[in-house]
Structures are given as structure tokens and as C-alpha cells.
Structure 1
Amino acid sequence: MSWAPTGLKKLPLTLAILCVALGVVVFSTGLLSFNPDPRTWDTATERLTELVVIISLMGAGLKLDRPVGWRRWDSTWRLLAVAMPLTIAAVAWLGVAGLGFSLAMALLLGAAMAPTDPVLAADVQVGPPKSGDEDEVRFGLTSEAGLNDALAFPFVHLAILAAAGGLASTADLTDWFTVKVGWKLLAGAGVGVLCGLGFGRLVFRRNEGSARFGDGLVALAATLLAYAAAELAHGYGFLAVFICALTLRAWERDHDFHQEMHDFSDQIERLLMMLLLVLFGGALANGLLASLTWIDALVGLAVVFVVRPVAGMIAMIGSRQPMRERLLLSFLGIRGVGSVYYIAYALNHGDFGDSERLWAIVGFIILVSILVHGVTAAPLLQRLTRRREAETG
């Protein structure tokens, strides 16, 4: 984990690709006696992906130098308010019309495929705090990934409601809108602000010597406490963690301690990511894609190469960004660990019937995203940087 990123800089590979390949090789040899199939380890899959996502969200919030604002976050709001709902609707339609899924399973597929993953999208995100590596593409993808995991959750609950036959009930739909949408979002945001203010006061309102209180462990404490508090308040913990990070960063925005917290979160995130991707490679080696059909594969490719790019470009209509930046914001919507979490969560909390094909399609989409975005992201962003420097120089 320490050496590979440096060694891979000159190769068309990423750490994610290397970890998946390692998992495929190790589990194909039979050296390990268990099958890391998420369909078997459903609860463990939900909990492990949940942990790595919230740690990733803390890191994403801490690394954002730009203060929150309507105009400053224009790309973010566009991707969240337009691109994400369009993606959910388009993928759900493909699930019903193309795959023959029930409405409930199609909605679940759409909700799981909508968010840009905060874990696997690290290569296209902004740099560490105060690094200056925050162009509009990187900022838009980082801030989107920080918020859209929580905003996709109401649609996961809607899929669970559909699986239980609740879409025909006005009372159930009212409960979904008021509780799963309204209250949970407000509670998550409120808890995030309160936790961020509390940790900011604890860390930065002390003397200079104690501003290093706890070192990077403060980031882990803030992550777990914000998430737990939001869950106790029946809010969305993903939202609470990201907003806690933004609020904490707003205290003493230029303080060096933010770098320490970010670095600690980043190390924990990369360790957990490596574990998950090796296990994902093992699941691939043990038949995760066995149920995949040609139609399933075509729909999966359409999600990566058509649905998200088109939805992103529609969202960017009227934007002030140059066309090349709009294209990158639309194309680099990486799918990954967050999608696995949502599928595992929904299947553990609802009755969707046979999920073999669903897992196969999700696994295929994630694999395609890891390979395609992993190989193309760095060269595309480097080319964008060189072009911007040439124009300004």
C-alpha cells in the first residue's frame, strides 16, 4: 500500500486494478479455503463496505479547500440535482425493459449505480488539504462523491418499500417521503454540523500545543461518533460524516492539523480498500459473474458509457465550465464500494427474491469501472492540467 502507488505512476495501472488482480490470482489457486462471495457473506459485506465508505467520506470532506457556497459548488449541485436522478431513472428503466427485473429490483439497481464512489474515485479527487490541486473537475467529483451516497439512500428505501408492495399505499409513500427523505436527511445534516462544531471547538479552541490532541486519530473519532450519533437520531450517517468533515475543516481552515487528520483517514481507507478489492477479486474468481448474460453485460456497459455521461452532460447544460471539463465530469463517475454497500443493505432489509443476476450485473459494472476509469482517469486529468497551464501561460 505504501510502495505500489509510486511504482504504478508510469504504468497504465492503478492500485485498485492491482488489488483485484491479486484477489483473482490468490483465490484461483485454492490457497484460501473460503469463498468471499458477497451473496454468502451478506452481513459482513454490508458492515465492511459501510466502514470503508464512512472513512472515505471523512477524508473527502477534509481535503476540500473550497468553502461551501451556491455558486462555488455549482458543478456539485448540478450533478446531484440533475445527473443523479436521471441516472436512477434511466438505470431503473433499463432494469425493467432490458433485464426483465421487477420494479423493486430495478429501482435498487438504479439507486446503487447512481452515486460516484468516494472510495475508488480517490484518483480523480482533489489533493490533500492546502495542496492547491483542486481544479473544477476534481472538485466536482470529490464533492459529488461526498454527498450523493446519502442522497441515493432514499431511493434504496423506496426500492425496499416497492419489494414489500408498499408503493400502492398512500400511507407508506407518505412515511417514505416524510421520514426516509425529509427527516433522515435533516437529521443527518444536523448531526454532522453539531459534531463538526464540537470537534472543532475541542481541537482548535485550545492552546497551540494541544491543537495536536490525538493526532490523526481525531479524524477516526469524528467519523465514528458522527456516524453513530446520526444513526441514533435515525438520520443518514453518510451525510453526517461528510458534513462533519466540512464543518471541522471550516474551523481554522488553513491549520496544518487538517493535513494530519486527512493523512490518517487516507491510510485507513487505503488498507480497507485493498482488503475489499482483494476479496472482490476472489469473488470474481469464484463465480460472481457466472449468472451474467450478454444482455446483462450490454446493460452494464450502457450504464458506464452512456447513462452516466449523458446524464452528466444534461446536468452541465448552462454551466460556465468549458466543454472538456463537462465531458470529464460526466465520464469519470466511478462506481464501486458504495454500490456494493447499497445492494447488500437492501437485500438484508427487504425481500427481492433471487439476487444472482443482480450481483452479477453490479460486479460487472464495478469491474468495468475499475478497469476503464482506472486506466483513463490519470492521463485525461493530466492532459487537462497541461492544456490549462498552456492556456494560462
Structure 2
Amino acid sequence: MSIPLWSLLLGFLLIIMVMAGTLLSRLLLSSAMVYLCVGYSLGPGGLGVITFDPIRHADGLERAAEVAVLISLFNVGLKMGAVPLYDRRWMLPLRLALTSMTVTVGLITAIGVWGLGLSVGAAVLLGGILAPTDPVLASGVQTESEKHPDRLRFSLSGEGGLNDGTAFPFVMLGLGLLGLHDLGAGGWRWWLVDLLWATAGGLLIGAVMGALIGRLVVRLRTRHHLAVGLDEFLSLGLMAMAYGVAQLCLASAFLAVFAAGLALQRVREQPQPGTASLSPESGVKGHAYRELATHSHHASATMANAVLGFNEQLEKLAELAMVLLVGALLPSVVTWPALWWFIALLFIVLRSLAVAAGTLGESMPMQQRAMICWFGIRGIGSIFYLMFAIRQGVSTPLAEQLIALTLMTVAVSIVVHGVSVLPMMKWYERHES
């Protein structure tokens, strides 16, 4: 298809989504469900406009998914950064991202070996691919940038923000067991580099870079009236730098970008002596951007809000692009009976068991626990790890199995979670109020 026709199609889709956004919410449809259907109709199963092969084009698909996940992780970090790190709210997302993640990988590994006939290495790899929940497609349950957010939204956002990074060691372990990655004698390299350093190093690199760059920009704006504006470049630049440094240092780039967003949001104001906050009673409404951006009492908040606003729009574009690709790739899936019971088992049983293990001893209402069990949304992070594994050289038969399991899991998640998110969240909010 020619570039003008592509431009026409894309423009038409974007305008339709703007005009039909309210109608979709009334029909209990998510935008991702529409993108999925459009992508399928444009793929080999329909018009044949998008014809990607998940094995031959794994490199390009991996890069596209990686960019989408990075954008969303930075966005989640910005939203969660308003909550102090010593706040007890952080305990639940940490337990979900670490304990529940590990339990999920273990359960999928067991099912993969005993139920799907996979080798141990392939089953561990499948667990690493499918265990992380998704920040890109979880916009309906994402938290807001505030100091006292809803616990459910905060926990699901934190889980999605952290476990895309904490899944990395399990993916590398699976590849190592398949002979495609060096685990070191006795597994020392996996323990020290792929697990401990990748996790801790990624968080450290992102936190340091986000804090340093944020403080530098605020100081330049408040003391010298420099570096004002271009917050979009600040957002993209910080994500790119955190990603690049983490990759060069063999740390988790996903955790680095998440931590960078978290640290940027937490940059404190640098009030100058003898100055006062603008409109302390009515807030900062009515003041121009430049006045707020260079005011020592408001520069940090103005910077974080501008970056967050840009990144939220960027995240929507990334969601559009990736879900279209997922829909277009679905015709390449070869299904078999075990595929369907595995997906049902993953969403209903394995997720519930993993959440129960991760929240053991945690006091919370039953409806809150049930919501966390249900909204284990799978999405773009799984697509990234799938393409990463294919690019590392897994055998073609195994690649085809992983493609079918991953793409169908993501597609089913988009549909069932997309249909249920609005009514369930409305029910939850009514119950909480």
C-alpha cells in the first residue's frame, strides 16, 4: 500500500477514535479491542495490507514492542512518583512484582512441562514471557499522579511497572537452559549478572539519572531562566539516556526507565530565600507556563506535569501501533486444543494462586483481592520477550509454539479484560465510596 493510502488510513483511524471514544465506553469496549479488530482486518486474515512474519521480522517487532513498553514504564513511574518511597502502599506492588511473578513463572513452567510437553528450558522461557503483567494495555486501571492514590490502581500499576523488568532474569534462565545463553559455571553469571545486577543496577541507574537531570533542569530554570520549554525533549531524552546507560552496563533497561520516571516526579522544589508560592489558596491556575516553570516554588511540579502530559499521549500512540501489529499477526497462529485450556488456566487459576502467594498475610478487602487476581493483563511486554527469544535463536518448532501461546494469550487478554475493566472498576469505585 502506498504512503498516501497509509496516511489516509492512519488519519481516519485516529479521528474515528477521537469521535467514538465516549461511545466505546458506553458499549463496554476498549480502544485496544478496536485496534485489534482493525489490525486483524488489515493483516493476512483480511485485506493483506500488513503482512509481517513473526519469525522473519522478529528484530523489527522486538524494537517496536520495546519502545512501547519503555514509554509506558516511564509514564507509570511518573504517576507513582508522587507517593513517598517509605509509604506502606509500596509493599503490595513489590510483593506482586517479585513473589507473584516468581510463583507465576514456576506454575507456568510446571504446566508447560507436564501439560504442554515442553522441555524444562522451553517451559521456563514461556513462564518468563507470559508472567509479566502489562502497563501499556492497563490504562483502565492505572493510578493517577497523587500522594494518596487508590490502593488497587496503585498496586496494579506498580506491578506492571516493575515486573516487565523482573521477568528478564527468567527469560535469560530459559534461554540458558536451552543452550542459547551463558549461565556461567553453576549458574553464577545468571545469579550475579542477569538477576541481582540487572535488577538492582537498573533501578539504581534510572533513579540516579532521573534525579540528577531533574534537579539540573529545575536549577537552570529557577536560578538562570534557562532550559525552559521543550519538555517533550526532556521526556524522550531522559528515557533514551536511562535506556542506553542500562544497556551498556548490562542492567535492566525496563527498570531503569521506570525508576527514571519515578525519580523525576520526586524531584523537590528549590525555593529561593525571600520568595513565596503563587496563589497558595487557589493553586496555580491562571499563571502562564513560563512563570510557573521558572518559579522556585513550582518549577519541579510544572516540569513533571508537562512531561507526564506528553508521555500519556505518546503512550496512546504506542498502544495503537502495537495492538494493530498484534491483530495483524494473529492469522500466523496455528492453534491446537491445549492452547485454549492453558489460557483459561493462566487467567483464572494460575493468576489467582500467584496473587494469593504474593499477598499472603496482607490485609485487604475481598473485592480488592479479587480485582487484583482478575486484572493480570498480558500484553506488549510479552510480545517483546517473545521476539527477543526468537531473535536469540530458538528452534523454529519451539518458536511457533511460543508465538501461538503468546499472541493468543495477549489477544484474549485484550478482549476479556477490555470488556470487563469498565463495569468492574465502576462497581469497585461505587463499593469504595
Q: TM-score, normalised by structure 2?
A: 0.83
Higher mean C-alpha displacement, 272-281 vs 64-73 = 64-73
Determine the structure 1 residue equivalent to 2:77: 61
| Contact 1:301–1:365, Cα closer than 8 Å, also in 2 | no
| Alpha-carbon RMSD | 2.1
Deviation at 1:363, TM superposition (A): 1.1
Q: Is the 8 A contact 1:188 1:235 kept in 2?
A: yes
- Indicate how the Cα distance of structure 1 residues 45 and 28 shifts in structure 2: closer, same or farther if over 3 A, else same: closer
Q: How far apart, CA to CA, are the structure 1 residues paired with 2:309 and 2:53?
A: 31
**Aligned-residue offset at 1:148:** 0.6
Report what 2:319 is aligned to. Answer: 273
Identify which of 52, 74, 80 aligns with 1:36: 52
Superposed displacement of residue 339, structure 1: 0.3
For residues 181 and 388 of structure 2, what CA distance do their matches in structure 1 show? 18
Q: 1:347 aligned to 371, 385, 390, which one? A: 390
Amino acid at match of 1:191: I
Contact 1:187 1:230 in 2 (8 A): yes
Distance 1:166 1:269, change over 3 A: closer
Measured against aligned partners, the alpha-carbon deviations of 1:33-61 in whole angstroms (never above 9, x if no partner) come to 55123223110111110111001100011
Output the CA distance in 2 between the equivalents of 1:35 and 1:101. Answer: 29
Please tell me the residue identity of whatever aligns with 1:246.
L
Gaps of 5+ in 2: 1-13, 270-299
Give the 3 Å change call, closer, same or farther, for CA 249–34 of structure 1 in structure 2: closer
Report if aligned partners of 1:216, 1:262 keep a CA contact under 8 Å in 2.
Answer: no
Percent identity among equivalent residues? 33
Question: Matched residues in 2 for 1:194 and 1:352: separation?
Answer: 40
Which position in structure 2 is the counterpart of 1:24? 40
CA contact (8 A) 1:58 1:245 kept: yes
Aligned pair count reads: 383
| CA displacement at 1:150 relative to structure 2 | 0.8
Contact 1:92-1:103 at 8 Å conserved across structures: yes
Partner in structure 2 of residue 147 of structure 1: 162
Report if the CA contact (8 A) 1:55-1:265 is conserved. yes
- Report matched runs for 1:1-393 at 5 Å: 1=14, 3=18, 4-27=20-43, 31-64=47-80, 65-69=82-86, 71-127=88-144, 129-130=145-146, 134-164=149-179, 171=185, 173-208=187-222, 210=226, 212-252=228-268, 255-284=301-330, 287-289=331-333, 291-354=334-397, 355-389=399-433
CA contact (8 A) 2:32 2:137 kept: yes
CA drift of 1:11 comes to 1.4
Q: Which has the larger radius of gyration?
A: 2
d(CA) in 2 for partners of 1:288, 1:145 = 27
Structure 1: how far apart are the matches of 2:153 and 2:22? 20
Are the equivalent residues in 2 in contact too, given 1:108–1:156 (CA < 8 A)?
Answer: yes
Q: Partners in 2 of 1:165 and 1:121 — Cα distance?
A: 32
Contact 1:297 1:361 in 2 (8 A): no
Q: Unmatched 5+ residue regions in structure 1?
A: none
Counterpart of 2:274 in structure 1 is: none
Q: Distance in 1 between matches of 2:101 and 2:45?
A: 40
For 1:140, the aligned partner's letter is S
| In 2, Cα distance between equivalents of 1:21 and 1:50 | 22
Supply the AA of the counterpart residue of 1:6: T
AA aligned to 2:206 is: G
SS in 2 for 1:72: helix
CA distance in 2, matches of 1:146, 1:236: 12
User: Which segment drifts farther, 269-278 or 207-216?
Assistant: 207-216
User: Which sits farther off after the overlay, 74-83 or 58-67?
Assistant: 74-83
How big is each residue's C-alpha offset from its partner over 1:128-161, in whole Å with a ceiling of 9 and x where there is no partner? Answer: x34x782111000111111111111000000110
Deviation at 1:213, TM superposition (A): 3.3
Rounded to whole Å, the distance in 1 between the matches of 2:310 and 2:392 is 33
